[in-house]
Amino acid sequence: AQSVTQLGSHVSVSEGALVLLRCNYSSSVPPYLFWYVQYPNQGLQLLLKYTTGATLVKGINGFEAEFKKSETSFHLTKPSAHMSDAAEYFCAVSHMIYNQGGKLIFGQGTELSVKP
Amino acid sequence: KAGVTQTPRYLIKTRGQQVTLSCSPISGHRSVSWYQQTPGQGLQFLFEYFSETQRNKGNFPGRFSGRQFSNSRSEMNVSTLELGDSALYLCASSLGQGTSPAGELFFGEGSRLTVL
């Protein structure tokens, strides 16, 4: 069975500071890993994904994440936080199999606050 | 390209009633997935439809059902509503096969259901 654990339901940083959102996964097969962002009263938007190949993946809005198989982690980082980054962030996992389609297992989410 | 459209955006029902939610996927996308989002349980997968067939199903009671039409539009229905069904229901679409890795989903803004 697959699962995702996001450490910290709330993270607060100052504008310009490093953003680090933690995600650990459990999967019996090679995983696909994703980070999604959700702004208030909106749906989810894909930030970045890891499928195969390079373990450091870059996404939109300056975010990046590194897949570490030995640590079963996929932490999300951004060097300098901006006020517009305030949102809820979700880590998700799925099977590395085509036609698994739309079934993702999501973590509980981390709400990021950015202080001026 | 138009995004995923969900209707209605907000609705209020009373216990025992039934509700139907609609989702129009991105043009060309053949997979539609549904998720329930609540503060307590987070994002939970309901089911996925691909080419009018249910391809994956989550762990929800039979009161939750769905269908997909030949134009890929999808509806989900919840019968005999309970207070605990109050949630944001998110629809997501994807190509569903071939070169689209599993899990690259495009979400709508959701339908917020309140059950009184």
> What span, in angstroms and rounded, lies between the C-alpha atoms of B34 and B42?
13
Average pLDDT score over residue span B47-53: 91
Tell me whether residues A104 and B45 touch, CB distance under 8 A: yes
Q: Can you give the pLDDT at residue B98? A: 54
Tell me whether residues B56 and A41 touch, CB distance under 8 A: no
Phi, psi of B83 (to 5 degrees): -55, -40
For A33, residues 6+ apart whose C-beta sits below 8 A from its C-beta are: A23, A25, A49, A50, A65, A67, A74, A91, A92, A93
Q: Can you give the pLDDT at residue B76? A: 98
Average pLDDT score over residue span A88-116: 84
- A49 to chain B, any CB pair closer than 8 A? The answer is yes
Report CA-CA distances (Å) from B43 to A111, B3, B70. Answer: 14, 20, 27
> What span, in angstroms and rounded, lies between the C-alpha atoms of A53 and A58?
13
At residue A90 the predicted structure's pLDDT band, cuts being 50, 70 and 90, is very high
DSSP string for residues in A67-114: EETTTTEEEEEESS--GGG-EEEEEEEEESSTT-TT--EE---EEEEE
Q: How much of chain B exceeds pLDDT 90, in percent?
A: 78
Q: Can you give the pLDDT at residue A38? A: 96
Interface test with chain B among A32, A104, A106, A108, by most B beta carbons within 10 Å: A104
> What span, in angstroms and rounded, lies between the C-alpha atoms of B53 and B31?
10
Average pLDDT score over residue span B16-40: 95
Q: Can you give the pLDDT at residue A36? A: 96
CA distance B67 to chain A (A): 15
Q: Closest Cα partner for B105 from A56, A38, A111?
A: A38
Average pLDDT score over residue span B13-41: 95
At residue A95 the predicted structure's pLDDT band, cuts being 50, 70 and 90, is low
| pLDDT digit string, tens, across residues B68-80 | 999 999 999 999 9
| pLDDT digit string, tens, across residues A66-84 | 999 999 999 999 999 999 9
| pLDDT digit string, tens, across residues A27-68 | 877 788 999 999 988 899 999 999 888 889 999 999 999 999
CA distance B82 to chain A (A): 23
Q: How much of chain A exceeds pLDDT 90, in percent?
A: 73
> What span, in angstroms and rounded, lies between the C-alpha atoms of A35 and A116?
25
